[in-house]
Amino acid sequence: MLLAIDCGNTNTVFAVYDGEDKRCEWRAASKSGRTADEMGVWLNQLMTMKGLEPSDITDTIIASVVPSAVYDLRLLCHRYFSAPPLVVGDPDVDLGLEILVDRPEEVGADRLVNTVAAHVTYPGALIVLDFGTATTFDVVDADGNYCGGVIAPGVNLSLEALHMAAAQLPRVAVGRPKSVIGKATVPAMRSGIYLGYVSMIEGLTARIQAEFGEPMSVVATGGLASLFTEATDVIHHLDNDLTLRGLREIHRRNAARRAPTPETT
């Protein structure tokens, strides 16, 4: 079985795959300083509840946008599962795509993993819209290459900044407003955030397609993707498992590449 780990700025997702089937998935806050032993004890308890043993894990793969977390995630895979991980971004990990930007080393691992998954799932040129700590728009050409994108503040980050910077504005949860014009502070804030982001999504996807010069499908993923997909018809596909499927696909490609041939066995 494969243990896939997606470490983001807000949450870290652990998923166990048995071939093509996802057996389990768990989330933990991406707290700074969390050790391999802490994660190992927590994860082993959750696996036991699902009838799994550490020895069931034969392979591991990691994508992380938190550099300080990679050491302990590597150690977790070695110490608790005896399965040295593939780490997206390492030179020996083949993603099967070209990174067509000025500084390829600066592209987040999650964005590349999403690119891989989106290309094998959906035909043609794509915009991958990820609602995470940041809201990102990633451009994928018809050959599956990463062509760049747009980074905007995440929805919850914007709400928190609004609350912190303005003394009279409360902390509110993101939600679809009943009307555009708010008749009180909280409805006005919800309208500004929610419909403001809908307008940003519609405007940026239109500008990206105009600049790219060909029709593109828009794939949405991330925690708030479903909330915004219902508000606009520019999003064609909602895919909350995109990153995890990308990790599974990258592992599959590299496992096939590293498998011994009859001549070498």
Burial code of 190-206, b = ≥16 C-beta within 10 A, e = fewer?
Answer: bbbbbeebbebbeebbe
Q: Is 111 annotated as ligand-binding?
A: yes
Tell me which residue of 89, 93, 92 sits closest to 111, measured CA to CA.
89
User: Cα separation of 34 and 170, whole Å?
Assistant: 31
- Of residues 59, 72, 110, 141, which has the active-site annotation? 110
Q: Is 232 annotated as ligand-binding?
A: no
User: Cα separation of 253 and 207, whole Å?
Assistant: 34
Q: Is 246 annotated as ligand-binding?
A: no
Q: Is 133 annotated as ligand-binding?
A: yes
According to DSSP, the β-strands at 134-140 and 126-131 are: antiparallel
Torsions phi, psi for 223 (to 5 deg) = -60, -35
Q: Is 11 annotated as ligand-binding?
A: yes
Q: Is 59 annotated as ligand-binding?
A: no
Q: Is 109 annotated as ligand-binding?
A: yes
110: annotated active-site residue: yes
Q: Is 89 annotated as ligand-binding?
A: no
Q: Is 108 annotated as ligand-binding?
A: yes
Residue corresponding to tokens 């794939």 = 219
Q: Is 7 annotated as ligand-binding?
A: yes
Q: Is 8 annotated as ligand-binding?
A: yes
Residue 216 makes CB contacts below 8 A (sequence gap 6+) with 124, 125, 126, 127, 139, 205, 208, 209
User: Cα separation of 257 and 241, whole Å?
Assistant: 24
Q: Return the SS3 of 255.
A: helix
User: Cα separation of 156 and 154, whole Å?
Assistant: 6
Partners of residue 156 on adjacent β-strands:
none
Binding residue positions for substrate: 108-111, 185
Just list the catalytic residues. Answer: 110
Binding residues: 6-13, 108-111, 130, 133, 185
Binding-site residue numbers for K(+) are 130
Annotated binding-site ranges for ATP: 6-13, 133
